[in-house]
Amino acid sequence: MDAHGLLDGTTNAEAIDDLDDSALLAELGIEAETTSDITQLRNVRSNADRKAAEEVASAKRCEDFATFKPLFDQVQADLDSGIRTTRPFVRDLGMSKADIKQGEFFIVGGQIAYVSSMGDPIQAPNGEIDARLRVVYSNGIESDLLLRSLQRALYKDEGGRRITEPTAGPLFDNATSVEAEPEQLPTGTLYVLRSRSTHPTISAHRDLIHKIGITGGSVEARIASAADDATYLLASVDVVATYKLYDVNRPRLEALIHRVLDPVRFDVEIPDRFGKPVRPREWFLVPLPVIDDIVDRIADGTLSGMTYDPRTAGLT
């Protein structure tokens, strides 16, 4: 069975043991390497080569952070009030990969990131267009990373988000305005109502008493049973104005409007259909021009922190 004669005793094991590595490789027909120094790297670029191919972004303390802090404070206030919202930073929203612009805000790594400046376009090794950014973070750090690097960080971060502009949508739209762009997500409708109640107080101030609310559905469906609902003062209502909302948090925006108008909240107690006393909370003694002013200020992001002063009949 020993077809190759391996066991016929002709092999000199001791001779093999005496061979060094080079001789053994020669016996096997393999040419030995001229060096075996483990410090000699093969098929690996040096640090100098890598730095020449692409600059390494540096993170450091932002020396002029005091200039940017009011921006971060305003953005956070807008997010809290619903004037701004966030969207996932994903590839399937119809956005181009390079859709990062100077002046935009993002959330990455748990921090709000502001693209303070963008350098001249440069061509990346793969042929795509890139640019060097100055990105300032809400924790007081800044970085000079590449646009593509910020994109990759946002793609990989499960919490990576794009922060919308206060006017994204636009925030308010009426029947005569242009149609929303595809990426603008409809949120609902802000409506202003007047009551047809024959209650003496309401009748005497009908043009001043308004109900302001937000619905995610149809306003008509919302008020269909107004005459049987104590929330609507157990009377039919007239729709004075409506505004289409885009990309806002409805409860937060409604709460913001009601907080601004709290000094003139119409405090009335009426019995519901079963005789139980009810205090409707969405009626206010406010003229319609002031409501229009509130709408304009929400759209331009200046309502946060304002309140209605009944003595001057204006926002302060």
pLDDT for residue 92 is more than 50 = no
Helix or strand holding residue 20 (H, E): none
- What integer is the mean pLDDT of 290-314? 85
Per-residue confidence (pLDDT) for residue 116, from 0 to 100: 93
Distance, in Å, from the CA atom of 153 to the CA atom of 156, rounded to the nearest integer, reads 5
Per-residue confidence (pLDDT) for residue 262, from 0 to 100: 92
Per-residue confidence (pLDDT) for residue 57, from 0 to 100: 63
Dump pLDDT digits (tens) for 180-210: 444 445 578 899 999 999 888 888 899 999 9
DSSP helix/strand/coil, 228: helix
- For the chain, the first-to-last Cα distance in angstroms comes to 105
Spatial CA neighbour of 261 closest among 214, 310, 297, 203: 310
Tokens of 257: 């409007």
- Residue 164 in contact with residue 107, Cβ under 8 Å? no
Helix or strand holding residue 138 (H, E): none
Question: How far from the centroid of its chain's Cα atoms is residue 74's Cα?
Answer: 14
Question: How far from the centroid of its chain's Cα atoms is residue 293's Cα?
Answer: 26
Per-residue confidence (pLDDT) for residue 55, from 0 to 100: 44
Query: Taking the complete model, does pTM exceed 0.85, yes or no?
Result: no
Dump pLDDT digits (tens) for 150-183: 988 888 888 888 898 875 444 455 443 444 444 4
Instruction: State the burial class of residue 64 (Cβ atoms within 10 Å of its Cβ: 0-12, 13-18, 19+).
Output: exposed
Per-residue confidence (pLDDT) for residue 243, from 0 to 100: 87
- Residue 142 in contact with residue 155, Cβ under 8 Å? no
What is the number of alpha carbons within 13 Å of residue 58 lying toward its C-beta? 5
The CA distances from residue 43 to 47, 49, 76, in Å, are 13, 12, 49
Per-residue confidence (pLDDT) for residue 133, from 0 to 100: 93
Spatial CA neighbour of 242 closest among 265, 217, 219: 219
Tokens of 154: 């946002």
